[in-house]
Structure 1
């Protein structure tokens, strides 16, 4: 019944939604092994890591499809429910979707030295693995936000939005949680962690803050000055842009900083599980992790690339990892999700 429900959800969506944002073919055209990788990760970020993997595997080709998180979930659930052959490896930042897919029986088991070395919160049922380490940050425009205005915490952000006639009114952005599975996950995680969540939602609504789609769009709008501050942005994308654009500054909130690990899964219907297992193990190897770190997909707040992030206080008390465990299934409960989205719409009436 669960699989049937997932299939019906998938079929209900418009056919146009079942189209990747982009497709790339990496490796030789005449390769003996061709694996399909579907991911929410920007090709610009993960592509160089895949290319490094392929250097020593001349008989392998990877077809890379980049998807929005909600569409990727619907497609993968539909493949599982119908028994279709789909992706050989799926990687998503919306890790609550991935936990749900594993819970539906849509994943293949894999055990290796690499998976065994992961921390317990980064592996579940030997079918789901966290492969990155990305802080969830705030970003601001250095040219337009003065040093005394920089929000170091959610409390600071509330203070900026509270005054009547605040110059930050209408110029703070975050993810639209209905368009973005990642945005929903981060907002839901905030609701579990933060005493400030209710106040922040009220302040967003009262000040005309903007809920919109996609990391790149939000970050570019901060750089251009359309927005002054963006809240709950993935640090990996923010760091990549900050390295190119001096106006963009990145802050790890000092009250707490969520740490997200994108989840990888080998679907139960994968056609080339051999290549999928090999690629997964590469991503978890020393070389693979070094490549991920070079692409800002592994970020350490206590040094390395994390030095580009403005950090206050102790890293040990700052970080709140989003673990891969059954608690995330709560975020997929239809009734709880509807109540949560209704509360969100109250904060962002322009989305109605």
Structure 2
């Protein structure tokens, strides 16, 4: 009878999980399981596997179920479907902030969370555990003799001066399809009016629009693009290890810095395990592993101080402005008018 109820519970959990689109679904099984931690994440399994394995080495009785989906699906899974994951991890800071602000995150305080700088957590509910520059990627060979732009003004001039070179060969996020892409675009608009002028110039060159950094980098490496705007620097850095033609550009007028964030949902079945894994991520051991094994960068105030052009996207209520449905609809309309010319 006990086996029956365990099987029934797993089947019902699977039905809940399958209500949203799943990109990856993997169990990291413990040989002597005493509990199971369920994580919903927008980060690829291959990137997170070293962290999960290191966590399990310290907690050998815990199996980990790691489910990957996109940032918008993650938001709706928690907000609308009450999916019972023990930890939610996403690169879409604004959507994470919305979930926490709407009362869907449990509070958590520990010695590990107390060591985070004020800009890397919010209300003891939402916690940053990586900082990643949002950069421009380009192919030096495809760019030819044209100069590498150092600012957005440089990029605007370059595109205007060489329309034949760039037509149909620029990639950027589609903010209507990507939560991270919408975050980057809306924060660009907050930083400078230059974003709209740049968007209009890009729009006149028939840019390709993407839902992920990985897809943009694939086309850039394949020669379909010359440059990709607003890609995650951590993903690009990993590609550059085996791609000598690639170039990462941190624009000097400003370079946004994303915080990958995590929280324990109120629907968690094992909030104790969610909190424990969160503490591991922001512990010294976890942060060291993030630096050494994932391609991401740890939370590091000193590194930000050394780069005055680096602008962290702060975990504060300002993120909620562009999540408002009316403001978001207006922004996307304005973006479509500039980039899609409609």
Using structure 1 for the length normalisation, give the TM-score.
0.87
What's the CA shift for 1:152? 1.8
1:153-172 mapped onto 2 (5 Å cutoff) = 153-163=151-161, 165-172=163-170
CA distance in 2, matches of 1:103, 1:133: 22
Question: Is the 8 Å Cα contact of residues 171 and 228 (structure 1) preserved in structure 2?
Answer: yes
Q: What is the CA-CA distance between 1:173 and the residue it aligns to?
A: 0.6
Distance 1:315 1:301 in 2: 10
Of 325, 328, 336, which aligns to 1:334? 325
Q: List per-residue Cα deviations over 1:99-132 (Å, max 9, x = no partner).
A: 1011111011100111111111111110000111
2:209 is paired with a residue of what secondary structure? strand
1:273 equivalent in structure 2: 271
Q: State the shift of 1:16 in Å.
A: 7.9
Say if 1:301 and 1:287 are closer, same or farther in 2 by CA, change over 3 A: closer
1:65 is matched with which residue? 67
CA distance in 1, matches of 2:270, 2:188: 38
Match among 271, 290, 311 for residue 320 of structure 1: 311
Report the Cα distance in structure 1 between the residues aligned to 2:187 and 2:297, rounded to whole angstroms: 20
CA distance in 2 between partners of 1:303 and 1:119 (Å): 11
Mapped to 2, the partners of 1:325 and 1:201 lie a distance apart of 26
- Once the two structures are superposed, the pairs formed by residues 252-331 of structure 1 within 5 Å of their partners are 252-294=250-292, 295-298=294-297, 315-331=306-322
Taking the aligned partners of 1:209 and 1:320, their CA distance within structure 2 comes to 26
Q: 2:38–2:86: 8 Å Cα contact kept in structure 1? A: yes
Deviation at 1:40, TM superposition (A): 0.6
How many angstroms does 1:244 deviate by? 2.4
Tell me the residue number matched to 1:346. 337
- SS, match of residue 35 in structure 1: strand
Task: Give distance in 2, aligned partners of 1:257 and 1:49.
Answer: 27
1:274 is displaced (CA, Å) by 1.2
- The list of structure 1 runs, each at least 4 consecutive aligned residues, that deviate by more than 6 angstroms after superposition, is 299-304
The CA deviation string for residues 180-212 of structure 1, in whole angstroms up to 9 with x for no partner, is: 000000000000002311111111111112222
Matches within 5 A, 1:137-156: 137-146=135-144, 148-156=146-154
Q: State the secondary structure of the residue aligned to 1:105.
A: coil
Displacement, 1:27? 3.2
> Aligned residue pairs: how many?
325
- Contact 1:107-1:268 within 8 A present in 2 as well: yes
Flag the 1:300–1:90 CA change in 2: closer, same or farther, 3 A.
closer
Pair 1:111-2:109 in alignment = yes
Alignment-derived partner of residue 10 in structure 2: none
For residue 10 of structure 1, what is the aligned residue in structure 2? none
Cα deviation for residue 247 of structure 1 reads 2.2
Assess, with a 3 A threshold, how the Cα gap between structure 1 residues 342 and 98 changes in structure 2: closer, same or farther.
same
